[in-house]
Amino acid sequence: MNIIRCGDTLLFRTPPVIAAKAAVGGKKEGEGPLAAAFDELGNDNRFGQSGWEAAEKYLQLRAARLCLQKAQLPEEKVDLALAGDLQAQCTASGYAMRELGVPFAGQFGACSTMAQALGLGAALCAGGGVRNLLAMASSHFCAAERQFRTPLSYGAVRTPTAQWTATAAGCCLLRPEGKGVSVTAATFGRVQDYQIRDINNMGAAMAPAAAATLLRYFADTHSQPQEFDCIYTGDLGQVGSRMLKELLAAEGLLVKNHLDCGCLLFDPETQQVKSGGSGAGCCAAVLCGHILPRLERGSHRRVLFVATGALMSQTTFLQKETIPAVAHLVELGPIRKEES
């Protein structure tokens, strides 16, 4: 068997590879420190579409097409796409897939979607039967604000713990073998709930999930944080990142090599994003535009990518439910250079 289970972690003996990837972003993303990481950036947040929801669909479709273009792979050779987003009923993905026309299984992990899709996709590639799989996720600031928070036109003041939903999409092409960054392991998270009710403090709701999944992965694989060039979390922001370090320190782990995709995407000094970026497209784009190129260049050899998602909705929030969260993890690297 090519897949070995250790606890909650799947280890891939012949690791699948990320053969190509693409990141697409909006206007604000193009004004931030990672502007050069994107394959394409919009001049506004409409991308020539009729509305914000349709603009997010376009972002996802564009990321998929750029990714396939780089791999010189025609759409009809895609065996399966695992895609998700934050819109109710995952419509950004559903409508993007209508245009892409490939077999499609919708994923919902909120902001953890990219790691979930990569983990499931890697297991499907490693298990056989899938040769070309797309893993992708997106988010759109305006579509998310309309759905979850204050109507944009109210111009309400944001709290210091609030995060800014990225207008971005990322797409990876996974293959069972060949050239690319290897996906060597995957850990699927268990839902955590630390009784947070503040919809403007997602970092606090999600940090326990990131800590739980990391602790399981370290226990399952008998590894230590310092063995990795970097541990990237998806979208905890400044507040959640501090909490993650505290939660891990309480378990005796002093993590000095942690970076958060939500803290990387925007400039905290000039871009007024409060605690940082968020949204399923944030860590998906940072992975594709920033992390994977480092693994490809060899400046990183082994990293963890842990994406966290808050699993509430506007309905459960209004019903005063607490906010559960989940975190999925994939271990990435090193690059494999042989041709398939």
Which residues bind to a copy of itself, rule: CB under 8 A?
A: 1-5, 8, 10, 50-51, 53-54, 79-80, 84, 86-91, 94-95, 97-98, 101-110, 116, 119-120, 123-124, 126-131, 147, 187-193, 311-316, 319, 321, 324, 326, 328
In the complex, what is the shortest distance from the CB of residue 139 to a copy of itself, in angstroms, rounded to a whole number? 13
- Cβ(271)–Cβ(320) under 8 Å? no
In the complex, what is the shortest distance from the CB of residue 302 to a copy of itself, in angstroms, rounded to a whole number? 21
In the complex, what is the shortest distance from the CB of residue 151 to a copy of itself, in angstroms, rounded to a whole number? 14
First-residue to last-residue Cα distance in the chain: 20
**Quick one: residue 276, left, alpha or beta (phi over 0 = left, psi -120 to 50 = alpha)?**
left
Whole-Å CA distances, 99 to 80, 83, 192, 195, 227:
14, 14, 36, 40, 42
Looking at the Cβ atoms of 41 and 54, the one nearer to a copy of itself is 54
Distance separating alpha carbons of residues 206 and 272, to the nearest angstrom: 21
Looking at the Cβ atoms of 51 and 298, the one nearer to a copy of itself is 51
Distance separating alpha carbons of residues 30 and 168, to the nearest angstrom: 10
Looking at the Cβ atoms of 13 and 301, the one nearer to a copy of itself is 13
Whole-Å CA distances, 305 to 23, 117, 171, 232:
16, 12, 15, 5
Distance separating alpha carbons of residues 305 and 288, to the nearest angstrom: 11
Looking at the Cβ atoms of 51 and 160, the one nearer to a copy of itself is 51
Looking at the Cβ atoms of 32 and 189, the one nearer to a copy of itself is 189
In the complex, what is the shortest distance from the CB of residue 187 to a copy of itself, in angstroms, rounded to a whole number? 8
Distance separating alpha carbons of residues 19 and 335, to the nearest angstrom: 10
In the complex, what is the shortest distance from the CB of residue 56 to a copy of itself, in angstroms, rounded to a whole number? 11
In the complex, what is the shortest distance from the CB of residue 60 to a copy of itself, in angstroms, rounded to a whole number? 13
In the complex, what is the shortest distance from the CB of residue 330 to a copy of itself, in angstroms, rounded to a whole number? 13
- The SS3 of residue 91 is helix
Looking at the Cβ atoms of 151 and 252, the one nearer to a copy of itself is 151
Burial class of residue 246 (count of CB atoms within 10 Å of its CB; 0-12, 13-18, 19+): exposed
Looking at the Cβ atoms of 35 and 152, the one nearer to a copy of itself is 152
Distance separating alpha carbons of residues 249 and 162, to the nearest angstrom: 24
Looking at the Cβ atoms of 264 and 310, the one nearer to a copy of itself is 310
In the complex, what is the shortest distance from the CB of residue 50 to a copy of itself, in angstroms, rounded to a whole number? 7
Beta bridge partners of 336: 180
- Cβ(138)–Cβ(281) under 8 Å? yes
